[in-house]
Amino acid sequence: MKWTYPIVAFIVVFVLGFGLTNLIKEELEVSPWSESGAEEGRLMAHTKNVTRLVNAGAADLHAYLKQTIPYEEAKTTDMAPSEKNWQEFFLQSLKVDPDAKNIVVVPGGGKDALKWALPALYYAYFNGSPVLFYQNGELSGNKGNLQNKKAFIIGSDDLIPNLDEFEEAERITAKSPQQLALKLAEYRDEEAEFGWGRKGDRDNGYFHYVLTTPDDALLGLAALSYARSNNATLLYAEEDGGISGELDRYAFAQRSDWFVTPSEGPFRHFWIVSNRVSYAAQGRLDFALEKAEYASMGPVALGDMEALMLIFVIWGVASALFVWIHALYTLPMVKMPIKISWALASMLLPILGPVLYINSYRRPATEVEKGDWRWIRSYNQQSAAATAMGFGYGAPLMIVIGFIMVWFGFPLFFGPGWEGPFFWLGAGMPIMMIAMYVLAVLIAWALVQYPMKKNMMPGMSNKQISKMAFITTALSMLAVSLGMMTTSWYMLMDKIPMMPKEDDVLWFASMWLASFIGFLIAWPINWLFIKNKLKPGNV
């Protein structure tokens, strides 16, 4: 079965080589777009960031949006909103979520109360939160089960006092309706699931905003459907139609960057529903949200993280070439499968791989049988060599399997039986990780570890060798996976703002880094295998 080793190595090198070559091809093909976008920006790839809805009144705007937003969950009541019925209009439009963890308390009454209440009503409508209106010392509205719900008292201190009706309550207020709207746009209570949480450091999400003035709050209420159809937050301009310094800074903080072309997401958008808002303010907001070239990037979007990760990958390829060439010309007594494993391991272990390799073969050696050599090494060095032999085939195989799955698309399994605590098992990332481990173990066991152990342990039966090879392969690669999968999940799902694709250097680099961490975790575990003579570490 000598042919199995080069076949596995060929598959690994072919797939990874294809992936890295495709990455270079993609970068070279898109770089002219980046240069064009940087030069001509708004003329060539401008994305409109503000839409003004010219209207004659709240009833007309409400009727128009009922026709143009065909989204069932965003439908409001057929009643036209007015200054007299605005509370009833909202309560008939609201679809309360019985599992909501918060309840919203806002001032009720006339036009002045609506100004303060509207920003909170947008989030309540989006989230399905029960709403109570305070007026003349009484609470009215969704008086259902208030147990286990945190109350958020929103509005001016003059319109709504401190209330003792709730087990847990938090007051959110400001000096003006404009400032209150901005505060609610940024506020987030994760435990109570209240607030939009749209701070300036949020670099993901397609955020929408409805902009009106406090005097035109009724128009903002007429556009309530946007809170569900577009997940829109309500913000206020100034009464004279301009925008405040706070709103100007907030809008610019929402600007997102593009890597290759301005057509990339995410995008932000303003819907203006007040004729009072000036066109100068509209133009300012449009410019504020216009996507800009990524601040620290060159023409092909090579940022700091990409540059560091690319150096990591290049070092890995260089390390693999060094080990392979050195082993071919200076260690004729080392068997070919071991040379391959050291080269593949060094590819994923920049610098460290060659150091361990040199340290493993600079020690004295003895020929126990003709063509069968053993090197004198400490237990630590034996465990490093044993880890490299299993890691060299296993970790690249996991990356290859992951690349193939990303290339052809993640499978998803979300049937009725997957609901509940095991829902995550049907998601693409967990499926990819499970497949990477299981398939890599089966391939490495059948085509690498079994033939290798059979050659090194001629006195054992095939059944014993097969069982030992499977157990050590599964356990050793499980140790690698503990570090590899955890790191790749952190990099791909948390650290990197947007999940990279197979033609992104960050995908390969994340896998390279995850493999490096996996090796460090598997190294001490393989020491136990060496100590119990389950794996050879002196070949």
Tell whether the model's pLDDT for residue 482 goes beyond 70: yes
Looking at the fold, whether 279 and 310 belong to one and the same domain comes out as: no
Q: Which residues pair with 139 in a beta bridge?
A: 134
Looking at the fold, whether 413 and 506 belong to one and the same domain comes out as: yes
Of the pLDDT bands very low, low, confident and very high (cuts 50, 70, 90), residue 410 is low
Residue 213 near residue 81, CB atoms below 8 Å: no
Looking at the fold, whether 201 and 322 belong to one and the same domain comes out as: no
Q: Which residues pair with 365 in a beta bridge?
A: 375
d(CA 102, CA 146): 9
Residue 442 near residue 4, CB atoms below 8 Å: no
Q: Would you say residue 348 lies in a domain? A: yes
Q: Would you say residue 264 lies in a domain? A: no
Of the pLDDT bands very low, low, confident and very high (cuts 50, 70, 90), residue 256 is confident
Q: Which residues pair with 446 in a beta bridge?
A: none
d(CA 376, CA 361): 9
Q: Would you say residue 44 lies in a domain? A: no
Identify the domain boundary among 234, 255, 290: 290
Give residues with Cβ within 8 angstroms of 89, minimum separation 6: 76, 77, 79, 80, 81, 82, 221
Query: What per-residue confidence (pLDDT) applies to 179?
Result: 96
Looking at the fold, whether 480 and 339 belong to one and the same domain comes out as: yes
Q: pLDDT digits over 185-216, tens only?
A: 999 999 999 999 998 776 667 889 999 999 99
Nearest to 124 by CA among 147, 106, 145: 106
Edge-to-edge strand list for the sheet holding 232-236: 50-52, 269-272, 208-212, 232-236
Q: Would you say residue 259 lies in a domain? A: no
User: Average pLDDT of 502-528?
Assistant: 82
SS3 134: strand
Query: What per-residue confidence (pLDDT) applies to 310?
Result: 82
Q: Cis ω on the peptide bond leading into residue 266 (within 30° of 0)?
A: yes
Tell whether the model's pLDDT for residue 44 goes beyond 60: no
Looking at the fold, whether 283 and 329 belong to one and the same domain comes out as: no
Looking at the fold, whether 311 and 202 belong to one and the same domain comes out as: no
Of the pLDDT bands very low, low, confident and very high (cuts 50, 70, 90), residue 295 is low
Looking at the fold, whether 59 and 130 belong to one and the same domain comes out as: yes
Identify the domain boundary among 290, 324, 357: 290
Q: Would you say residue 40 lies in a domain? A: no
Identify the domain boundary among 231, 259, 290: 290
Of the pLDDT bands very low, low, confident and very high (cuts 50, 70, 90), residue 131 is very high
Looking at the fold, whether 73 and 175 belong to one and the same domain comes out as: yes
Phi then psi dihedrals of residue 350, to 5 deg: -55, 135
Of the pLDDT bands very low, low, confident and very high (cuts 50, 70, 90), residue 414 is low
Query: What per-residue confidence (pLDDT) applies to 446?
Result: 81
Q: Strand pairing of 372-375 and 365-369?
A: antiparallel
Helix spans in 150-259 (H) = 177-186, 217-222, 226-229, 245-253
Q: pLDDT digits over 83-98, tens only?
A: 999 999 999 999 999 8
Tell whether the model's pLDDT for residue 487 goes beyond 50: yes
Query: What per-residue confidence (pLDDT) applies to 7?
Result: 81
Range of the domain at 111: 50-247+269-290
- Per DSSP, the residues of 13-61 read HHHHHHHHHHHHHHHHHHHHHHHHHHHHHHHHH----EEE---S-HHHH
Residue 398 CA, distance from chain mean position? 21
Q: Would you say residue 420 lies in a domain? A: yes
Of the pLDDT bands very low, low, confident and very high (cuts 50, 70, 90), residue 55 is low
Looking at the fold, whether 71 and 193 belong to one and the same domain comes out as: yes
pLDDT mean across residues, the chain: 82
d(CA 16, CA 11): 8
Looking at the fold, whether 464 and 507 belong to one and the same domain comes out as: yes
Looking at the fold, whether 326 and 351 belong to one and the same domain comes out as: yes
Tell whether the model's pLDDT for residue 226 goes beyond 90: yes
Query: What per-residue confidence (pLDDT) applies to 40?
Result: 35
Tell whether the model's pLDDT for residue 107 goes beyond 90: yes
Of the pLDDT bands very low, low, confident and very high (cuts 50, 70, 90), residue 423 is low
Q: pLDDT digits over 300-341, tens only?
A: 455 667 778 888 888 999 999 999 999 999 988 888 888 888
Please state which of the ranges 27-36, 135-144, 317-326, 508-517 shows the lowest mean pLDDT. 27-36
Looking at the fold, whether 68 and 187 belong to one and the same domain comes out as: yes
Query: What per-residue confidence (pLDDT) applies to 20?
Result: 82
CA angle, 92 as apex, 86 and 93 as ends, to 5°? Answer: 90
Residue 182 near residue 235, CB atoms below 8 Å: yes
d(CA 392, CA 34): 38
State the total domains in the chain.
2
Q: Would you say residue 430 lies in a domain? A: yes
Q: Would you say residue 30 lies in a domain? A: no
